[in-house]
Amino acid sequence: MKDFKKLKVWQKAHRLTLDVYQASATFPREELYGLTSQIRRACLSIPSNIAEGCGRGSDTDFARFLQISMGSSSEVEYLLILSKDLQILTSDDYETLSDDVIQIKRMLTSLIKTSRS
């Protein structure tokens, strides 16, 4: 069993989740059950699946949960684009959060390759 809190990718994903919650707090009230909820749930899924994968017994299971985190990362990447294009996320917030998601995806890709070999 791995300690997920020691993984740099989990730490970065956790920080991203906190930042997305903060940024989405300014989204319009009518988006509370739409875009706000969706981007928060997708973002929360990234570190949650990393943590769950660490609790599994094999590297194969760990890699599978990392792959799920990768899918959630791509979902967040799109939802950030949508939020920017709808002009409910500032360009500065978009740039920062998008850069973080891309870095997390790179880290996940590397960790998936390592855990599968």
Confidence (pTM): 0.93
Helices (H), 25-58: 37-54
Evaluate whether 85 touches 77 at the Cβ level (below 8 Å). no
Q: What is the pLDDT of residue 115?
A: 86
How far apart are alpha carbons 61 and 53 in whole angstroms? 6
The predicted-structure confidence for 13-23, as pLDDT tens digits, reads as follows: 999 999 999 99
- Does residue 59 have a pLDDT over 90? no
Nearest to 25 by CA among 12, 40, 43, 11: 40
Decide if pLDDT at 104 tops 70.
yes
CA 73 → CA 3, 15, 54, 108, distances in Å? 21, 13, 18, 9
Q: What percent of the chain has pLDDT over 90?
A: 86
56 versus 69: the higher-pLDDT residue is: 69
- The answer, yes or no, to whether residue 98 has pLDDT greater than 80, is yes
- Hey, what domains does the chain have and what are their CATH numbers? 4-116 (1.20.1440.60)
- Contacts for 47 with CB less than 8 Å, ≥ 6 apart: 4, 10, 13, 14, 17, 69
The answer, yes or no, to whether residue 108 has pLDDT greater than 90, is: yes
Q: Is the pLDDT reported for residue 65 higher than 70?
A: yes
Contact 74, 56 (CB under 8 A): no
